């Protein structure tokens, strides 16, 4: 598979995950909205990694590491970087909740709609960078 196909693979998967995040929101499964938003950004960062480094991204769920290895952290807005920090623990906490009730209290309807909006904006920003 060539690099363009690998980039498209990751973007297709991120799009699928964004649709899944919206479906989780619509069915009020807020715990998984956060998890899926993490997945959207992770996969879009892996697409950008292919674009930037033209090699396989590391096997990691660490959004900060992926952004830094592609130098995206240098051009992200403060809000984008804050979103990545917010999403980081949701990957693990949603799958292995230490305290599911506390996590579910923090992922309210309002928080999740904001999270979806910010995730979609960051995803679109990364896709625009890939069009250069």
pLDDT at 99: 65
Full residue range of the structural domain in which residue 34 is found: 3-130
CATH no. for residue 8? 1.20.120.330
pTM value is: 0.93
The helix or strand, by DSSP H or E, that contains position 55, with its residue range, turns out to be none
pLDDT at 97: 56
Q: List, for residues 59-103, the tens digit of each pLDDT value.
A: 999 999 999 999 999 999 999 999 999 999 888 655 565 666 777
- Chain centroid to CA 20: how far? 12
Stronger pLDDT, 56 or 97, i.e. the higher one: 56
Q: List, for residues 40-49, the tens digit of each pLDDT value.
A: 999 999 999 9
- In this structure, what DSSP letter does residue 120 have? H
CB 52 within 8 A of CB 1: no
pLDDT band at 104 (very low <50, low <70, confident <90, very high): confident
Domains identified in the chain, total number:
1
- Chain centroid to CA 118: how far? 10
């Amino acid at each position: 598979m060539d690099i363009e196909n690998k980039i498209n693979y990751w973007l297709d998967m991120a799009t699928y995950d964004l649709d899944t995040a919206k479906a989780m929101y619509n069915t009020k499964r807020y715990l998984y909205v956060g998890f899926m938003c993490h997945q959207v950004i992770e996969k879009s960062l892996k697409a950008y990694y292919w674009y930037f480094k033209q090699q396989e991204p590391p096997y990691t769920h660490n959004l900060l590491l992926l952004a830094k290895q592609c130098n995206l952290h240098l051009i992200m807005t403060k809000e984008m970087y804050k979103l990545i920090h917010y999403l980081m623990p949701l990957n693990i906490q949603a799958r292995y909740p230490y305290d599911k009730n506390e996590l579910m209290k923090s992922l309210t309807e309002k928080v999740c709609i904001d999270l979806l909006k910010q995730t979609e904006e960051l995803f679109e920003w990364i896709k625009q960078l890939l069009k250069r």
